[in-house]
Structure 1
Amino acid sequence: MSDPGRCVHLTTERLVLRRFTPADADELVGLDGDPEVMRFLTGGKPSAREWVESTLIPRYLEHYRRYGDLAWWAAEERASGEFLGWFEFRPTVEGVRAEVELGYRLRRAGWGRGYATEGARALIHRGFTDAGSGVERVVAYTMTVNERSRRVMEKCGLGYVRTFHEDYPETIPGSEHGEVEYALTAGQWRARAGADGSGILEP
């Protein structure tokens, strides 16, 4: 369980999203050490501890300094404090808050329980209702063959935009089918949620 003095960004019915700290290195290494978690990202290869400690965590901390509310968030199960993974909700262009990328990476223990949808919806709600956030569009990307991730995007109201191909350093299974982009604008979200933007509806 994490330090109760941690900086909490938001809570949902079952989740706590908080800031990362250097003490989370073990959790991140463990998360990325599961080949199934990394299947659609690196073909199953883990992230090196040295990279997590010297590059990844400092990147997270820098985003808190620069953007405050638009960054990566450690996800914990609210009831137990167990680390589940993380959510990403940060600018796609440096210094520009209008468009943010939504992402999520959860341990297998959290799969199939609706956690990804719950956390993602909460971040979208915060982004579109917080007057100071400046968020006008949310985008998300995944491999075309990653059906689970695509379904989460759809449950959060994001719609398919395009399929595109990137040059992978190493080919991984399914990469020949390309990547997909999904997106949701503030206007679309408010039309679904109601005039005051207070609700989150199923697509």
Structure 2
Amino acid sequence: MTPELRSERLVLSPYAETDEADFVSLFQDEAVGRWFGDGMQTAAQDRALFHRIFSYVYAENRFPVWAVRHEGRYVGHAEVKPSPESWLDGHEIVYGLTRASWGLGLGTELARLLTSYGHETLGLAEVHATVDSENTASLTVLKRLGFTQGREVREESGGITLLLTSRLPAPPVAG
């Protein structure tokens, strides 16, 4: 079950059917949607993706997926999920915010909340993010939060995906 999460200004809650138009609008905005998954999809594909959240992800309790709200308004999408990448064994955070919410520090607040959830609630020693090398905003946020860059993967499209990782400090050795 996807729990509700809160930070100082954000509320992350499971999607409701009434969020479909906002979800599709977010993913259809090229400034945002190009960074998700395989990039821009059609509106019909984004609607189908929204419905898979209910029929697959929530129905089978796969991983948490949230609608992100600020001051009661939908401002984004977030997930903590097992990585679908064959070269990454672990969980990754996924997030995106509406263009209207940029520049308010919400990206850092959201990524911090997701990372804390991964470490503290899920008990993950490592929380990953896979980011297109040209997505400077997300790279800046993650590095600000202490994520370190690891592997670089050249995609078939010619782009480069970077693996960034937040690691819990190793426990002290008793002695």
TM range (shorter): 0.7 to 0.9
For 1:52, the equivalent position in structure 2 comes to 46
1:112 is displaced (CA, Å) by 1.5
Q: Deviations over 1:50-81 (max 9, x none)?
A: 3233333323553334447x42211000x2x1
Q: Secondary structure at the match of 1:37?
A: helix
Number of paired residues? 168
For 2:161, the equivalent position in structure 1 comes to 179
Mapped contact 1:163–1:180 kept (Cα < 8 A): yes
Percent of aligned positions with the same letter in both sequences? Answer: 26
Distance verdict in 2 for CA 1:126–1:160, change over 3 Å? same
The answer to whether structure 1 residue 99 and structure 2 residue 90 are counterparts is yes
For 1:10, the equivalent position in structure 2 comes to 5
Q: Secondary structure at the match of 2:30?
A: coil
**Partners of 1:100 and 1:117 in 2: CA distance:** 19
The answer to whether structure 1 residue 23 and structure 2 residue 5 are counterparts is no
Q: Secondary structure at the match of 1:129?
A: helix
Mapped contact 2:119–2:127 kept (Cα < 8 A): no
Q: Secondary structure at the match of 1:83?
A: strand
For 1:140, the equivalent position in structure 2 comes to 129
Distance verdict in 2 for CA 1:137–1:63, change over 3 Å? farther
**Partners of 1:51 and 1:39 in 2: CA distance:** 14
Q: Secondary structure at the match of 2:26?
A: helix
For 2:57, the equivalent position in structure 1 comes to 63
Q: Secondary structure at the match of 1:36?
A: helix
Give unmatched runs, 5+ long, in structure 2: none
**Partners of 1:44 and 1:135 in 2: CA distance:** 28
Mapped contact 2:68–2:75 kept (Cα < 8 A): yes
**Partners of 2:39 and 2:118 in 1: CA distance:** 32
Distance verdict in 2 for CA 1:93–1:25, change over 3 Å? same
Q: TM-score, normalised by structure 1?
A: 0.71
User: Which residue identity is paired with 2:163?
Assistant: E
